[in-house]
Amino acid sequence: MLTGISFILVATTKALKMQGGVAKENLLEENVDAVRKGCKNLGRHIRNIGQYGVPVTVAINEFQSDTVAEFIVVVCGDIMTMPGLPRKPSSENISVDENKKIVGLF
């Protein structure tokens, strides 16, 4: 039984790629689609933890081998347009600067 005031779930892009079907020997190669697939598994963990009624914080450990595209997918997920919003998805304005800070998110 989980108890406490919050739960911290730690993930890596490598783990997400493995959950997305990438073989261990190919984890250093960029694979945004596998990260997306792995995020579905991460979402399942978040929902499972949420059943205990405690807030969930997801921490993404960043490694030098992580690519900017993969990291943005993990942080931002699928940012889609909705009625009344611009046709250009907000995700097209998001990037990572030279200090590894996400820019263009808000």
pLDDT digit string (tens) for 56-101?
888 888 888 888 778 777 777 665 445 565 666 666 777 888 888 8
Domain ranges of the chain: 7-81
pLDDT digits (tens, 9 = 90+) for 2-27: 566 888 899 999 999 999 999 999 99
Instruction: Determine contact, residues 66/17, Cβ cutoff 8 Å.
Output: no
Which pLDDT score is estimated for 21?
Answer: 96
Q: What is the pLDDT of residues 35-61, one digit of tens each?
A: 989 999 999 999 998 888 888 888 888
State the Cα–Cα distance between residues 50 and 32, nearest whole angstrom: 26
Give Cα separations from 23 to 37, 41, 61, 83 (angstroms): 14, 16, 20, 39
Q: pTM, whole model, 2 decimals?
A: 0.66
Q: What are 4's strand-pairing partners?
A: none
Beta strands per DSSP E along 31-85: 56-61
